[in-house]
């Protein structure tokens, strides 16, 4: 297969190319292709002649999206539309990486793929609107919702915790937001499997199980910095531009129906921590 990856220099993108070992992979970063430039995207896509396009590029700074909504929608929604239109014209299949933040967090059981979208921040709205438009443009696209991504060589929660632990004896972490931490290596492998099975529609892909940010932080520091204590605090104690859903756990039913089972978040975290050099 020929694979074209938008966002290849990002945290997930860096793990996508190895997941497609043995295939012809073209990886593009933001310097190679600006999602906001439709004609440029069409030219790149037509030149690649890809069987599958993986759109993992996005403006993922949730607070940044809140303060700069124009940029958020230009990249996350309009950029996705540009790629989808180019894919449709070129006969390429598309996988779009979306987010748990398309939901409002009001449920207390895992979100299924057909639960109503109701985002509560700009980032979530930009992703939700992109999903709707992509399904109109290309009915055979695959939308992969994931959550709480972390990986080697990228800005992520475990990296932040370990960096702060070097200088602070106690860290304050929210205990009233719950989700599914997801290791980019595992997600990349799942995405590769989805292309091989020619999957379309909406799929939720995360590591199995769920936790709060507080529980996640404790699991990280217990291995790498056991001398650091973690204090549980509420979201209300942090002043952030963007609201976060209190519960954004994604059901794994759809990914299991594709014959794919990701490791637990605890096993995935152990793998990530072993891969770190510190």
Model confidence at 278: pLDDT above 70: no
pTM exceeds 0.85:
yes
Tell me what pLDDT residue 276 has: 87
* Span 5-27, pLDDT tens digits: 999 999 999 999 999 999 999 99
* Span 180-193, pLDDT tens digits: 999 999 999 999 99
Q: What is the average per-residue pLDDT within 61-86? A: 98
Tell me what pLDDT residue 223 has: 93
Q: What is the average per-residue pLDDT within 237-259? A: 95
Known catalytic residues are 123
Please give the mean pLDDT across all residues of the chain. Answer: 96
Q: Domain 2-150+182-207+250-263 belongs to what architecture?
A: 3-Layer(aba) Sandwich (3.40)
Model confidence at 238: pLDDT above 90: no
> What residue spans define the domains of the chain?
2-150+182-207+250-263
The CB density around residue 238, as the number of other CB atoms within 10 Å, is 11
Model confidence at 277: pLDDT above 80: no
Q: What is the average per-residue pLDDT within 234-254? A: 95
* Span 150-174, pLDDT tens digits: 999 788 999 999 999 999 999 999 9
Model confidence at 143: pLDDT above 80: yes
């Amino acid at each position: 297969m020929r694979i074209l990856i938008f966002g290849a220099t990002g945290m997930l993108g860096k793990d996508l190319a190895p997941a497609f070992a043995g295939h012809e992979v073209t990886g593009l970063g933001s310097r190679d292709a600006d999602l906001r430039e439709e004609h440029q995207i069409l030219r790149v896509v037509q030149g690649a002649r890809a069987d599958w396009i993986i759109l993992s590029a996005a403006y993922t700074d949730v607070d940044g999206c809140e303060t700069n909504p124009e940029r958020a929608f230009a990249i996350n929604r309009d950029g996705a539309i540009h790629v989808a239109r180019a894919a449709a014209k070129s006969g390429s299949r598309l996988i779009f990486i979306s987010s748990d933040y398309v939901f409002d967090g009001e449920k207390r059981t895992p979100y299924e793929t057909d639960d109503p979208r109701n985002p509560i921040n700009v980032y979530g709205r930009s992703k939700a609107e992109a999903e709707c438009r992509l399904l109109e443009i290309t009915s055979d696209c695959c939308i992969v919702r994931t959550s709480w991504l972390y990986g080697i060589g990228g800005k992520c929660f475990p990296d932040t915790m370990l960096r702060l632990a070097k200088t602070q004896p106690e860290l304050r972490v929210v205990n009233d937001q719950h989700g599914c931490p997801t290791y980019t290596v595992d997600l990349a492998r799942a995405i590769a499997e989805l292309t091989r099975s020619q999957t379309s529609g909406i799929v939720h892909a995360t590591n199995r199980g769920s936790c709060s940010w507080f529980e996640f932080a404790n699991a990280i520091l217990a291995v790498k910095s056991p001398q650091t204590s973690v204090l549980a605090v509420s979201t209300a104690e942090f002043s952030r531009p963007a609201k976060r859903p209190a519960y954004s756990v994604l059901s794994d039913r759809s990914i299991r129906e594709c014959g794919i089972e990701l490791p637990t978040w605890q096993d995935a975290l152990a793998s990530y921590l072993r891969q770190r050099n510190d």
